[in-house]
Structure formats: structure tokens, C-alpha cells
Amino acid sequence: MSVGVRESCGKALCETIERSITTHAMVATPELISCLTNSVDLSHIEKNQAQRAAGMEMLDFTQQLISGVALGCVYGLIALGFVLIYKATEVVNFAQGEIMMLGAFMSVTFIATLGLNYWLSFLLCVIAMAILGAVMERVVLRPILGYPQFSIVMATIGLGLVIRALVGIIWGTDDLRIETPFTDGVFTVGKLVIAWDALSIIVATVLLCGALYAFFRFTKVGIAMQATSQNMLAAYYMGIPVKRMFSLIWSLSAMVACAAGILLAPITLIHANLGFLGIKAFPAAVLGGFGSIPGAVAGGITIGIVESLSGFYLPEGFKDVAAYIVLLAVLLWKPQGLFGLNAVKKV
């Protein structure tokens, strides 16, 4: 007897018993008796089955959780780029996803076309993006410093369009792939299978956050950036080159985005729609309150987990919008995000 049939038999038994109790017709029919005798070992087997299923479920869940965390780290890294720029300049950079995409495509050129070593390419890409980030700030953002936020947001959207179009013109619209040390290979803990690429993202995120923390905490430039982000005018009066700080912040955030793009490359193919991940990272940044670096990463991981679990357990279609539903719910509940400050304007 297959499991399905047994289950249905057990179900029928329960229904019969229920019915007999509710109707007070306590007449033991032969079928009922046979069913009852059967049910003894049946329940035993079912219990085993349930245990095993629970084990499988647990494993599935953990597996989904890990891939969610890995995906979330990418969101977190993109969100980190948002947060860095927002904290310093009060600009929300809608082109962050496209900058990440540009980094990923650049790695294609270095690794696949020029055949350079992965680590060297990584370094070159990050340096190139740092320069490009500063150029973008100088050309697009510097002239509109102090404009209404809406205009600045639109300018970054325009920047994103330009980057996406240029990427399409330079690299074409085909899906590309790069060879990385993490492309294949898995890492197993008991029955749990973790892909190297997922693990590499998690490890890199932790390292990057540590590096950023140290940068802002211990270096002079980092402290100057903090000062700039807290009070631009005061920082300026203290002799901090505020404009150069803005360029530096953009460099920094482009570097982080570039790292995210290259780390993501082995998981998804590199294609012109990669930039849309940037829009997915908004919920992450908002959940984190748009002003806090650990908040951005925490928000990213939350969104990653939500997305991967909803993709596994909920009907099709929820995966794509789960992040936004969570975002709206959180905004309704806490308008300044989970880690945001809720201060009242002074009059």
C-alpha cells in the first residue's frame, strides 16, 4: 500500500469515527473494526514518515535560508552603496544597480576577454569603478548640489539610463559568464549543501563591512566623511574639502557596488537587466533606515531571506513582489525604517 492510499485510509477512518461520534451511532461495523486494527501500525508508520518529512523540511528550510542570506548580502552591498551616498550628500542614487552592473561587465572584459587572473581583475575593476564613480559625481551630481531632492533623484535615474544604454552598446545584450574560483564546487555540512559562490558572497560581505567600519572609525578621511555627513557647513568651516569628500564617497560606493557585481556574477549570468537588482535593494536600504551601514546589510539579508522563502513556499508571483510587500508593511508600521531616526523638525 502506498503512502498516499494509507493516508487516505487514515483520513477516512478519522472521518468515520467522527461521524459515528457526532451521530451517536456507536455501532461497530466490520469495516470500522478492520480499519481500527489497521490503524495501529499505520499510525506508527505515519509518525516515522512525518519525522522524516520534518527533517527534509528543516533541511529545505535551511538551504533556502542560506541562499536567501547570500542573495541578501548582495542586496545589502548595493544598499550599502545607497546608504554611503545618502548619508554624506542626501542624494538617493537610483543608478546604484547600474553601477553594479557596469562593474560586473568590466570584470567580463578583464577576465574573459583579456584573460587576466581573477583576483587581479577584481582589483582592477574596483579601481576603475572608483575612478568612474568620482567622474559621475563630478559631471552629473556636482552641478546640481542643493537642488530639490526630486530633481537629483531624476538625474540619477537619467545616469542609470545612460549607463545601461552604454553597457548595451559596448558589451551587447547577450548573457555573459565569467570563470571565477567560486563558480563550481560545493561545501557540505552533514546533509547541507552550500555552494562556494554563495559562501564567497557572505564572507566578502562580512569582510567589506569590517573594512568599512575600520575606515570610518580609524582613518582621518573616514572621520572627515562622517563629519561631512553630519554637518556639511561645519565640516567645510573646519577645513574639510567637502566637495572632494563627495567625490570620494561616490568612489567608495561605486567600489562597493562593483564588488557586489563581481561576487554576484557566478550566481546569475551577467546581462543588461542586472541593474534592476538595484531597485530590489531599495527595500533593503529603507528597512535599514537609509542612514545606517549595519542597517543596510541587515535589511538586505532580511529581503534576501523573505524573497527566497516566499519563492519556495508561496505560489508563483510572490517572489518578485515579496520584497515590496514587506517594504510597504514596514513603512506603514515604522515610517523611518527599522533603524531610522525619528526626529521632529525644529521650528
9 belongs to the binding site for other proteins (CB under 8 A): no
- Give burial (CB, 10 Å; 0-12/13-18/19+) of 63: middle
b/e 99-130 (16+ beta carbons within 10 angstroms → b) = bbbbbbbbbbbbbeeeebebeebbebbbebbb
Judged by beta carbon, residue 83 or residue 178, the one nearer other proteins is 83
Give the residue from 290, 281, 262 showing the smallest Cα distance to 323: 281
Shortest distance, position 148 Cβ to other proteins, whole Å: 8
Shortest distance, position 209 Cβ to other proteins, whole Å: 23
202 belongs to the binding site for other proteins (CB under 8 A): no
The SS3 call for residue 170 is: helix
Binding residue for other proteins, selected from 17, 92, 112, 199, defined by CB under 8 A: 92
Give Cβ neighbours of residue 277 (< 8 Å, ≥ 6 apart): 74, 75, 78, 97, 100, 101, 264
Judged by beta carbon, residue 13 or residue 152, the one nearer other proteins is 152
227 belongs to the binding site for other proteins (CB under 8 A): no
Binding residue for other proteins, selected from 2, 22, 23, 151, defined by CB under 8 A: 151
174 belongs to the binding site for other proteins (CB under 8 A): no
Judged by beta carbon, residue 220 or residue 345, the one nearer other proteins is 345
Shortest distance, position 151 Cβ to other proteins, whole Å: 5
Instruction: Give the separation between CA 304 and CA 302, rounded to whole angstroms.
Output: 5
332 belongs to the binding site for other proteins (CB under 8 A): yes
Give Cβ neighbours of residue 121 (< 8 Å, ≥ 6 apart): 107, 110, 111, 114
How many residues make contact with other proteins (CB under 8 A)?
56
Q: 240 with 224: CB under 8 angstroms? A: yes
133 belongs to the binding site for other proteins (CB under 8 A): no
314 belongs to the binding site for other proteins (CB under 8 A): no
Residues in the chain, total: 347
Binding residue for other proteins, selected from 48, 149, 219, 273, defined by CB under 8 A: 149
Give Cβ neighbours of residue 112 (< 8 Å, ≥ 6 apart): 176, 177, 178, 179
168 belongs to the binding site for other proteins (CB under 8 A): yes
Binding residue for other proteins, selected from 4, 30, 115, 146, defined by CB under 8 A: 146
Q: In what helix (H) or strand (E) does residue 20 lie, and over which residues does it extend?
A: helix 3-23
Binding residue for other proteins, selected from 194, 215, 336, 338, defined by CB under 8 A: 336
The SS3 call for residue 175 is: coil
195: left (phi over 0), alpha (psi -120 to 50) or beta: beta
Judged by beta carbon, residue 28 or residue 332, the one nearer other proteins is 332
The SS3 call for residue 146 is: coil
Shortest distance, position 216 Cβ to other proteins, whole Å: 18
Cell of 329: 508593511
Task: Print the binding letters for residues 255-284 with other proteins: x by CB under 8 A, - otherwise.
Answer: -----------------x------x--xx-
- Give burial (CB, 10 Å; 0-12/13-18/19+) of 33: exposed
Binding residue for other proteins, selected from 42, 112, 135, 154, defined by CB under 8 A: 154
Judged by beta carbon, residue 121 or residue 228, the one nearer other proteins is 228
Binding residue for other proteins, selected from 9, 17, 161, 338, defined by CB under 8 A: 161
Maximum pairwise Cα distance, the chain: 96
Q: Which stretch binds other proteins (CB under 8 A): 42-50, 186-194, 303-311, 313-321?
A: 313-321
286 belongs to the binding site for other proteins (CB under 8 A): yes
Binding site for other proteins (CB under 8 A): 86, 90, 92, 140, 143-155, 157-169, 173, 232, 272, 279, 282-283, 286, 290, 316-317, 320-321, 324-325, 327-328, 331-332, 335-337, 343-347
